Chains A and B, each alone.
Chain A
Amino acid sequence: MTVQKLPMVKAINESLRRALASDPKVLVMGEDVGRLGGVFRVTDGLQKEFGDERVLDTPLAESGIVGTAIGLALRGYRPVVEIQFDGFVFPAYDQIVTQLAKMRARSLGKVSLPVVIRIPYGGGIGAVEHHSESPEALFAHVAGLKVVTPSNARDAYWMMQQAVRGDDPVIFFEPKRRYWDKDEVDPGATPLPLHRAAVARPGEDLTLAAYGPMVKVCLDAARAAAEEGRSLEVLDLRSLSPLDFDCVQTSVEKTRRLVTVHEAPVFFGAGAEIAARVTERSFYHLEAPVLRVGGYHSPYPPSRLEDTYLPDLDRVLDAVDRALAY
């Protein structure tokens, strides 16, 4: 396959196809992932190509899906599980936190659980309740899990390759509102290490640290700021656990100012952890406190209010103004 311009759904689809083709132990399982190809069509055509022994339409029970995936992994399989929507993961939260995350440690390394859990997440698509949430911090807090999220189709392709190839459980958050954004995907490219952040746009005056759906918002904000003569550096973190603090540190020690941006509520969110770490690592480089932009401490609102709830270009630039005012 040569370089192609693909939307993120298709990039992940191609990545899963390649994983299924190259390793007979890889399975895809979840609700509606087979015959339908998933409600977002991420797994479109995979069951037809690999059969229902490799691509399993499961009963509608999230704990059951993750619990049986753990058993299959114990038997040597590498299940890639789909949770249909962010807000539906909680019936499986017990299995993920209590079993999946801890089993390797409690077996003193004798057991590995190479399970990837794909979760379409985030808002901005006008969905009904429980279909727009960003629960990533609830997973990043748990030792034993790795938590990653691509922001674009190009990264989604190789990050899924790496997630399936690794021997640890990975929570793979897919920004559903970026599913149909296209990017150039190069299947021949050597995949990067899974947990390495990227400088999505270099700049000098302030760093914006974002991931998943907010990277595009931050890039837009940086372009708008450039018109006013402000040079913003945008980091695409890609991975929340582990988080590439070296990349953040390098950037912040250059720009001396940091604003974190995510859809999830600010309180106890990824931004809080980043702010604390940056303070520890780069205290004397900072010209301003680390500011955080994110969701409010409320349940995700009805979709007619989501444009107000979600961080957008203006809210990012407002925080940029405040940080630069110090």
Chain B
Amino acid sequence: MTTGTVQFLNHEGELTSHPDHEAEISPDGLRKLYHDMAWSRRMDAEAVTLQRQGELGLWPSLLGQEAAQIGAGHALGAADYVFPSYRDHGIALCRGVDPLDLLRMFRGVTNGGWDPAEKNFHLYTLVIGSQVLHATGYAMGLAKDGSPGAVLTCFGDGATSQGDVSEAFNFAAVYHAPIVFFCQNNQWAISEANERQTRVPLHQRADGFGFPGVRVDGNDVLACLAVTKWALERARSGEGPTLIEAFTYRMGAHTTSDDPLRYRDGEEVAYWNLRDPLARLRTLLEARGWADGAYFDTVAAQCEERAVDLRARLRATPDPDPGDIFAHVHADGHALVDEERARFAAYQATFADAAGRGE
């Protein structure tokens, strides 16, 4: 049983240690982590701007959760499969999902956006906690297949109040499923703070289900990476599920429709600003001489270029064909859907005829 919160990089950018876990420290590795966190933050900021300009209907910002997501994302192996929630853009990037596909979903072009089997990254799930059961079932399937992979599923502190999440914990324990429950406790479920969701620290929930629960500093990418790697390896080697509580903070609003000033004060945000996940890694890289100002300027310029490209590609995204409404409802067809599709096409054709006459 892991004791205390696992942390390897404190908020002042100093390396620390933990008796039960070990961090992998290499200049190249740290720079890669920094790069991916920086890009996820820049991509996220671009999405917020695009929403403000009317290009997206909504955007749930990951601001503040970059370390949790990039750490977990870097822990994944090729055969592992992820069931995300809807704020896991950093992990999506790690899995090779084109950020345009994330944006298309929030633009209202599609309700999905990518091929889950191609990316080993399931579609976002908006109903809180539902995906945790799908993840568990998928993990049960991996075990039946004798697959070398494991499942990582993401959810927030609010989701732990859902029955589906507790049912998933129990199914996973009973069937000894190869799964990692990765809870990003960002402390706010829209306007409801942790104390409205739970009376015990979330990682302790695992005790009652019979598998280990570990709390990590969710703003420390090294801790998130190391503990997620360890938990995935446990899963792959048949040791069953693990719950990781990545204790972090949602720096921004719940989504672009939210106004956090109505329910939390600036002091709290200022406290967490000092615990920024990117700033501490930058401090470490600079202190060790593993990166200099020129490096960070280059990363920023690369991110800027990609953000500009992303914006251009999004604005060039066409609306879907109206016929898509009927296209994928069933695999084997459905007489009523066929009938309505035909009626819709005939109705649409009347406009074409009218337009034709007008010429």
Contact = CB atoms under 8 A, between A and B. Distances in A.
A68 B171 contact: yes
A33 B115 CA distance: 34
Interface string A62-87: 01101111111111110000000000
A166 interface: yes
B127 A242 contact: no
A72 B141 contact: yes
Contact of A76 (B132, B141, B324, B336): B141
A114 B332 CA distance: 10
Interface residues of A, number: 47
Interface in B146-185: 163-164, 167-168, 170-171, 174
A99 B128 CA distance: 12
Nearest to B320: A108
Given A108-B328, A146-B334, A71 B139 contact: yes
A324 interface: no
Interface residues of B, number: 43
Contact of B141 (A61, A71, A103, A241): A71
Interface string A219-243: 0000000000000000000000111
B130 A95 contact: yes
Interface stretch (B51-59, B116-124, B264-272): B116-124
B330 A146 contact: yes
A146 to B, nearest CB: 7
Contacts of A69: 137
A167 interface: yes
A74 B134 contact: yes
B9 to A, nearest CB: 34
Contacts of A98: 127, 130
Contact of A71 (B133, B145, B324): B133
Contacts of B328: 104-105, 107-109
B202 interface: no
A100 to B, nearest CB: 10
A110 B141 contact: no
A53 B144 contact: yes
Nearest to A103: B123
A157 B145 CA distance: 29
A256 interface: no
B255 interface: no
Contact of A70 (B115, B134, B171, B332): B134
A110 B136 contact: no
Contacts of A103: 123
Nearest to B334: A242
B335 interface: yes
Contacts of A64: 133, 136, 164, 167-168, 170-171
Interface in A20-77: 53, 58-59, 61, 63-64, 66-77
Contact of A68 (B136, B327, B335, B336): B136
A208 to B, nearest CB: 22
Contacts of B334: 146, 168, 241-242
A72 B137 contact: yes
A168 B83 CA distance: 22
Given A71-B133, A71-B140, 18 more contacts: A61-B170, A64-B164, A67-B132, A68-B140, A71-B139, A72-B137, A74-B137, A75-B137, A94-B127, A98-B127, A104-B328, A104-B329, A104-B331, A106-B123, A144-B330, A146-B334, A241-B336, A242-B336
In the A-B complex, the 5 residue pairs with the closest CB atoms: A71-B137, A67-B133, A75-B141, A68-B137, A64-B167
14 contacts: A64-B164, A64-B167, A67-B137, A70-B137, A74-B138, A74-B141, A91-B163, A99-B125, A105-B328, A108-B110, A110-B115, A166-B331, A167-B332, A243-B335
